[in-house]
Structure 1
Amino acid sequence: MKTVQAYRFALDLAPRQERAVLAHAGAARVAHNWALARVRAVLDQRAAERSYGMPEEHLTPAVGWTLPALRRAWNGVEDEVAPWWAQCSKEAFNTGLDDLARALKNWTDSRAGNRAGRPVGFPRFKSRRRSVPSVRFTTGAIRVEPDRKHVVLPRLGRLKLHESARKLARRLDNDTARIMSATVRRDGGRWHVAFTCEVERSARVASRPVSTVGVDVGIKRLAVLSTGELVPNPRHLGGALRRIRGIGRAVSRKAGPDRRAGVRPSKRWQRASVRLARHIADAGFAEIRRQLTYKTSWNGGRLITADRWYPSSKTCSGCGTVKTKLALSERQYQCEACGLALDRDLNAARNLAALAAQATTAGSGPVAARGADQKTCLRGQVAVKREPGTATAGKTGTVPPQGGTTNHALTKAH
């Protein structure tokens, strides 16, 4: 089984190397802005001509904005627009053109209704101060050195890693991975390199009995497993916002830039401002589901997701009775029919584990995903309408395939 996987490592760049990377990122920004200005000028001209009543056949010819079309246009003007282009790798300019081609395609697909999700706006110009420096390499010398502490990239040469790349190097040495691209990017004051690789994974065979695990995700606790294990919510966002408020007060006491007087910011102001970047990887339900999806597929498992209407919290995991109302403030589930009393999240997790097991034994396959237009059913039966004493189901459950050993998960956030 082949899959695409990314390996990301921090870099320790020398000042000369950092200047070279910034030059490549600037070249990508120049190519992006030039191509965007060209496309925008033609679109504005055609719109103005239409407003004058000019027929379509007499309008200014449209320009193509696919990556090959943008490349051909750039190659014809690179000596005029960027006379220093030979100092940077061609991959730098290709990075900016490729980003614009993707952005324009997303914009057109969104307008035509061919793209799901929120509407996508027209691409914007990239600012030297606000845009994140980034450059991507897809051809040339891209490799990990034998010492596993250095990588080699086109035109940038040998770069030192802050950590060992042994995990990626082992796969490359065993011919189970192939590097497709390498992206150098600055995040929060530190440079990183991310390798996009095509990885060959062998199918894992289960050596232990098939098991099912229910996972209920929530606010108070990040996840509650049907086995009783509790995963606390780290609340990264709240802690980061408290640190940001303190850093903001510290920045206000330091000498910042003054463009009118030509005063450059102090070194302490620059260091404090770098920590103000609000790039916070907060724990979220979508991230948990994303990781469960690919990890279960890598390990031979199967992910089953309950739909939004499934009442995992309201259903008793002991007898199957469904409550009509359950306030969010009620953290303990109390069944009036059988007297069961336990944590509401643990009750939901057990219900999800039972739903996953029932879906597998019934042979009905995965249940409807979150957001489906119909309720979760198993062989024509709604999961919540079962006889007392039978297996119950919940918001998240995991079920491995027949003969497999890895667990599957069924999840639902509430």
Structure 2
Amino acid sequence: MILAKKVRIIPSIEQEQKLWQSVGTARFIYNWTLARQEENYRNGGKFIFDGDLRKELTILKKTEEYKWLSGVSNNVAKQAVKDGCEAFKRFFKGLADKPRFKSRRKSKPSFYNDNIKLKVKPNIVLIEKVGWVKTAEQIPMGVKYSNPRVSFDGKYWYISVGIETEPPVIELTDESIGIDVGVKDLAICSNGMIFKNINKTKKVKKLEKRLRRLQRRVSCKYLKNKEGSKFVKTSNIIKMEKQIKLLYRKLADIRSNHSHQSTNKIVKTKPSRVVMETLNIKGMMKNKHLSKAIAQQGLYEFKRQLQYKCEFNGIEFVEADKWYPSSKTCSECGHVKLKLSLSERTYICEECGCVIDRDYNASINLSRYELVV
């Protein structure tokens, strides 16, 4: 199985300028690819393959206007073309939404580095047209790397590489764990484990309060410095926007870390099977009262992490049918309620009189999913 290894790199000032140049080139070529595909599609043409676009790009680089594209590695532009074409292929197959143009302000700064030309030595790594860059920790040596990417998260630069890893041989128990996810708690397991909603903690609430204050201050400064119909970005606004970006980064790291710790704890119980309900995130987000809470909870990311960790450890991962009435079914007698509103947090069975927490009841039913079906 290929697992990603992400390591912080510490470039010098000159190296950082070259990294930004590669980022800008990757974004420009990706947008150029999307523009060419859209223009061709509007004119009734067929899909342009990435090989043909790369030939066009070679001619474009020779012109005086786009001579600056030759300042970075050729592989950065090649991969950006490939990524743009893949995005369109996924859209035509119905696997993803229509690809959007990458914004300089909003898109994640990243670019591809050729895996064959990637060289690793103790605490340094060779990045094309950048040179040998220091690393905060050692990247595994003497292994085959796949899809190396250099990215910037708003504070630090990172390089991530895919490394083929042999899965561990572990003895699994006969336990089947059902997991019910939600907004009140992140996950409730049938074995009694409960993982709380990290967004309700004092630390996260304090950071969100600080974030709201900074956003209000920036908004006021924009209004004060407005010239006609244009908003002027002063040096103070730039400083505040940087603080906002770092706060968003900190909140994202806290949520991601909580999700990783929760999924690790579930996998470490060594169950033979993990059952989770099929999540219709797109449908859930349509609820205007809960959409923000659902987005912050990161339910899809939780499922993704749990799925690959189960696969790596040889645990069977099962997704229950989305119409399976896990919450409406009594875990004691099997009676199914016709109606159960979201406000009813305690399940009371009309047949056997069982009184149980709604989410815990659902997790028990999910653990028995295969037996029911």
Q: TM-score range by the shorter chain?
A: 0.7 to 0.9
Task: Find the counterpart in structure 2 of residue 115 from structure 1.
Answer: 94
Task: Find the counterpart in structure 1 of residue 85 from structure 2.
Answer: 101
How many residues are treated as equivalent by the alignment? 321
CA RMSD of aligned residues (A): 3.3
Q: Could you tell me how far apart the structure 2 residues matched to 1:64 and 1:327 are?
A: 48
Does the alignment pair 1:221 with 2:185?
Answer: yes
Task: Find the counterpart in structure 2 of residue 70 from structure 1.
Answer: 53
Q: How does 1:95-244 map to 2 (within 5 A)?
A: 95-107=79-91, 109=92, 114-116=93-95, 119-120=97-98, 124=101, 126-147=102-123, 150-161=124-135, 163-165=136-138, 169=140, 172-173=141-142, 175=143, 178-195=144-161, 197-202=162-167, 204-206=169-171, 209-235=173-199, 239=205, 241-244=208-211
> Shift in Å at residue 22 of structure 1?
0.9
Q: Could you tell me how far apart the structure 2 residues matched to 1:264 and 1:335 are?
A: 61
Distance 1:91 1:348, change over 3 A: same
Q: How does 1:256-405 map to 2 (within 5 A)?
A: 265-266=234-235, 268-277=236-245, 280=252, 282-356=296-370, 358=371, 378=373
> Shift in Å at residue 77 of structure 1?
2.7
Higher helix fraction (1 or 2):
2
Q: Could you tell me how far apart the structure 2 residues matched to 1:257 and 1:85 are?
A: 36
Q: Which amino acid aligns with 2:60?
A: V
Q: Which amino acid aligns with 1:352?
A: L
- Equivalent pair of 2:3/2:165 in contact (CA under 8 Å): no
> Shift in Å at residue 274 of structure 1?
2.3
Q: Which amino acid aligns with 2:62?
A: D
Identity of aligned residues (%): 29
> Shift in Å at residue 146 of structure 1?
1.9
Distance 1:223 1:15, change over 3 A: same
Q: Could you tell me how far apart the structure 1 residues matched to 2:312 and 2:112 are?
A: 27
Q: Deviations over 1:159-196 (max 9, x none)?
A: 233x424xx52xx45x4xx211221222234322222x
> Shift in Å at residue 300 of structure 1?
0.9
Q: Which amino acid aligns with 2:3?
A: Q
Q: Could you tell me how far apart the structure 2 residues matched to 1:106 and 1:305 are?
A: 23
Q: Which amino acid aligns with 2:152?
A: R
Q: Structure 2 unaligned runs (5+)? A: 256-295
Q: Could you tell me how far apart the structure 2 residues matched to 1:259 and 1:199 are?
A: 56
Distance 1:236 1:250, change over 3 A: farther
Q: Which amino acid aligns with 2:6?
A: R
Q: Could you tell me how far apart the structure 1 residues matched to 2:307 and 2:52 are?
A: 37
Q: Deviations over 1:274-298 (max 9, x none)?
A: 2434675633322222222211111
> Shift in Å at residue 220 of structure 1?
0.7
Q: Which amino acid aligns with 2:57?
A: W
- Equivalent pair of 2:5/2:163 in contact (CA under 8 Å): no
Task: Find the counterpart in structure 2 of residue 390 from structure 1.
Answer: none
Using the size of structure 1 for normalisation, the TM-score is 0.67
Q: Which amino acid aligns with 2:146?
A: M
